[in-house]
A and B are shown apart, each in its own frame.
Chain A
């Protein structure tokens, strides 16, 4: 399997004023293959976000190598890294990070602004339709539910057709129903062939990924295929039934 992102012996050290260095990552090596759906788990402060940022070229490791699509990115300058993020990575954040007072379609267009290509019309609309928001193009974030806002953010991550989607606690700000909707969307995208990595500290959420990496204290504790992948659609159906029974 082709590795989309690969890190080798990566460490990230923060030097504190007291002089004692803090290791957010220690000698981490991992490869994310094409078409995988990976969940990264671990307690708070274990280094999950740090690993995500390194995988997504948002942050540089103190030591070790990072390869995106076989290309070594350690030595790239800021400008080249920006292009890698724009073309190959799609980020999804816990707090959605949509621009306020800006329509869904304009939010989704944001990565296109910084892309080098000239033909961009229609792409944002298609991405929103792909996440089931074809009827909310001109709604502003304030006029959308949390789940809908996160779907706008996912459309934004998809719009430049990246190699990989990196989502840091994408369900952290959502109620359980919206969380399953988002998981169902990720599973659907993954079935379409999209590589997805999500960070979570809820074991329940990780059950929906095909591979689970557990980290603790900056190091990989376990890394295994999930033999019992659950389907978010099934859960959603069950919730719908319960509501029907109740009413």
Chain B
């Protein structure tokens, strides 16, 4: 009851000194606006990266030919030729936790032509298992089939970017394109997938049957990598160990010799992405934090001035029966009301700002409840810390001293 009355009284006091209230609020509004925009931008970036990571798949891992190096690029001399289609088949056969294997080979920048038009693209040789393992299917027409694979058919499935570049809007199914000297018939168009975790355009691709690719495009008997889909993602570590031992045995590697393949798990990809986002966020939060601290100082100062201006009021309230803690409560409350109101205004402005920022810069922004909670938490915290000292000072005033002024 009494608390409610003091609360009401504090609110009224603020309404009576609008200019002071406004100046106190402005610092916190700016700080919280900054925090909100920072969090929205940071979360947007994080979501974008995690979205890309998810495209890779969290229940899968990747085996690349070549040991100990990033993403299986050849070290020196010739390419690593030890990873074979049979390795993929053996893993599928021997490991219970494997739901599917998608062996593939690829060619970095292949030029694909249709009549006068051409595009530089990535050419993949894949088996039909590619589609379920990546959870990525043909949007129109048909994906590579077992029959295509067995017949070494000269057919291909193209990504939306390739379709756009070579055919504009027209339906390309049944049309022919030329890869090197070989003519392929287009039998399907892939679902769009956007940007890969590495930043490449996953829609700028041409898929051919792996057998056709190995014989007619690259003329090799080895593969570039195998994507492995797991049944139970929690057993990933065990499965990696088993894959290693099977491959080492098949490749006849003696103990002490390094692996001639490399396994990438989603954990690694996720960790890398989080590290990048984290560094970015720390920097931005620091900037926002500094502006909040500055806002806090402004508020503390204005409150201190307010306390000395209102000595008479404080003395009067004490003469009328206010206890020290009632005065302390009133002044702390005034600061908190200002900062929390400022915080809420800041959050709203931050959301508007983030939306505009997102629209202007094309950067991803994401508005979240975490941002709202954090904004309110920060503003109450700043209010509490900034209000503590002035409130203490007000409470410590002696009633006669305060009344004298």
Contacts and interface: CB of A to CB of B under 8 A. Distances in A.
A78 interface: yes
A85 B312 contact: no
A106 B2 CA distance: 15
Contact of A114 (B313, B323, B403): B323
Interface string A74-95: 0000110011011100010100
A113 B6 contact: yes
B323 A79 contact: yes
Contacts of B6: 113-114
A113 B2 contact: yes
Contacts of A102: 12, 16
A114 B400 contact: no
Secondary structure dominating the interface of B: helix
B154 interface: no
A161 to B, nearest CB: 13
A191 B312 CA distance: 32
B9 A113 contact: yes
B16 A114 contact: no
Given A97-B312, A99-B313, A113-B9, A85 B2 contact: no
A156 B2 contact: no
Size band of the interface chain B makes with A: 20 to 34
Interface residues of A, number: 30
A115 interface: yes
A160 B322 CA distance: 13
Interface in B248-297: none
A111 B320 contact: yes
Given A97-B403, A102-B12, A82 B2 contact: no
Contacts of B318: 58, 82, 85
Interface in B1-54: 1-2, 5-6, 9, 12, 16
A85 B313 contact: no
Given A102-B16, A113-B2, A85 B320 contact: yes
Contact of B400 (A59, A111, A113): A59
B400 A82 contact: no
Given A113-B6, A118-B1, A58 B399 contact: yes
B331 to A, nearest CB: 15
Nearest to A166: B319
B142 interface: no
A53 interface: yes
Contact of B5 (A53, A85, A86, A113): A113
Contacts of B82: none
A110 interface: yes
Contacts of B322: 82, 113-114
Contact of B319 (A79, A85, A101, A115): A85
A59 to B, nearest CB: 5
Contacts of B320: 85-86, 91, 110-111, 114, 156
A97 B316 contact: yes
A150 to B, nearest CB: 14
A112 interface: yes
B403 A82 contact: no
Nearest to B6: A113
A121 to B, nearest CB: 11
A58 B319 CA distance: 6
B324 interface: yes
A56 B12 CA distance: 28
B340 to A, nearest CB: 22
Interface string A153-186: 0001000100000000000000000000000000
A110 B312 contact: no
B2 A116 contact: yes
Nearest to B312: A97
A156 B318 CA distance: 14
Interface in B311-342: 312-313, 316-326
B11 to A, nearest CB: 12
Contacts of B317: 110, 114
Interface of B: 1-2, 5-6, 9, 12, 16, 312-313, 316-326, 399-400, 403
25 contacts: A58-B319, A58-B399, A78-B324, A82-B322, A83-B321, A85-B319, A85-B321, A86-B320, A86-B321, A97-B403, A100-B16, A102-B12, A106-B12, A110-B320, A111-B320, A111-B321, A113-B6, A114-B2, A114-B320, A114-B326, A115-B2, A115-B321, A118-B1, A156-B320, A160-B321
Given A91-B320, A113-B2, 19 more contacts: A58-B399, A58-B400, A79-B324, A83-B323, A85-B320, A85-B321, A86-B321, A97-B312, A97-B403, A99-B313, A102-B16, A111-B321, A112-B5, A113-B322, A114-B2, A114-B317, A114-B323, A115-B2, A116-B2
